[in-house]
Structure 1
């Protein structure tokens, strides 16, 4: 991949078969994780009648999924809420807002899978589709960064005996792909 370019109002890039496979594979894994979380939502008859969806009240146990679906409520130190009040509020906020977040994240993952050619080749996106790609790539980078324990002060290259070494290269490449797409969007 040489980077994203803007041409005739579209953003485009040429992906090799291997590059497309990496993007599709990682985005597909994120989509599967999000879909599994969606399936954990409690069945609520009132929600089915009113159309108000509810999700789980507790955060995901998996740390990668927890990074993708952070808490919707933070304790306000001024109000002095107790831990029980804080937990109830956090659970209620999560239950109300997580379904929409899951839908949005699953939607952008689906968009990438639909627009990224399985065998490689040209990707041609509208501005709106490019925004979806950016969101999906960001989710992949968050997940991969969490799984690899990537920190700001981490060196560019890891020692040969570090098992994260090869995956760090994928993370760095995805960072470049995302940066290139932002650059093309802002031209």
Structure 2
């Protein structure tokens, strides 16, 4: 991957076919995890009537949403009130569905851009209005990778960076670093 650079109101870079495939896979896994295998249930509703939307949400969302067992989901959707289970449950009940819908919509923007590269044969072009969804998705993917690797701070990231190449985690550490490079250069190109 080359650095992102600004060009004609967009940020652009060239990805290899392998990089397009890897990022597409990671973003698809993120969508799968967030949607619990049912991304279509998190599509934005067609209606603009607020009462109809409210009724739809109440019909779908449980009164007492469960906390997540998966540590990645706990990092992506943290407990708002760690010392008050009822307040945390209420917060999840009223916000989590919208947060999931937003993350999935952002991921769809990224997937569309990646598909437009024709497997890396065409430069990746991210229009200015799509930069924020890109950055949010890269952040979510990077959080997922960090959580799976056990990265909790700069010190644990440094320890993992010293892994020998034959350690199975070393590849994912390089992916974590690559995602950070993508975020940093995208922000610098703005």
TM-score range relative to shorter protein: 0.7 to 0.9
Deviations 1:154-174 (A, max 9, x none): 333313453211110111011
C-alpha separation in 1, matches of 2:119 and 2:175: 19
Higher helix share: 2
CA distance in 2, matches of 1:30, 1:179: 21
Q: TM-score, normalised by structure 1?
A: 0.82
Which stretches of structure 1, 4 residues or longer, exceed 4 Å deviation after superposition?
37-41, 46-49
User: What is residue 179 of structure 1 aligned with on the other side?
Assistant: 184
Give the Å deviation of 1:49: 6.6
Q: TM-score, normalised by structure 2?
A: 0.80
Contact 2:4/2:186 (CA < 8 Å) preserved in 1?
yes
Q: 1: CA distance between counterparts of 2:118 and 2:145? A: 21
Matched, 1:14 2:14: yes
Check conservation: 1:15, 1:123, Cα contact below 8 A: yes
Partner of 2:136: 135
Question: 1:131 Cα deviation (Å)?
Answer: 0.9
**Residues 99-157 of structure 1: CA deviation (Å, up to 9, x unaligned):** 01001111111111111135113111122211111000000000000001124113333
> Could you say which residue in structure 2 is the equivalent of 1:150?
151
Count of paired positions: 171
| Structure 1, unaligned runs of 5 or more | 76-85
Superposed, 1:1-187 pairs within 5 Å as: 1-36=1-36, 50-53=55-58, 54=61, 57-75=65-83, 86-116=84-114, 117=117, 119-120=119-120, 121-151=122-152, 152-153=154-155, 154-155=158-159, 156-185=161-190
Superposition CA RMSD, Å: 2.4
Give, in angstroms, the shift of residue 32 of structure 1.
Answer: 0.7
Segments of structure 2 that go 5 or more residues without pairing to the other structure are: 43-50
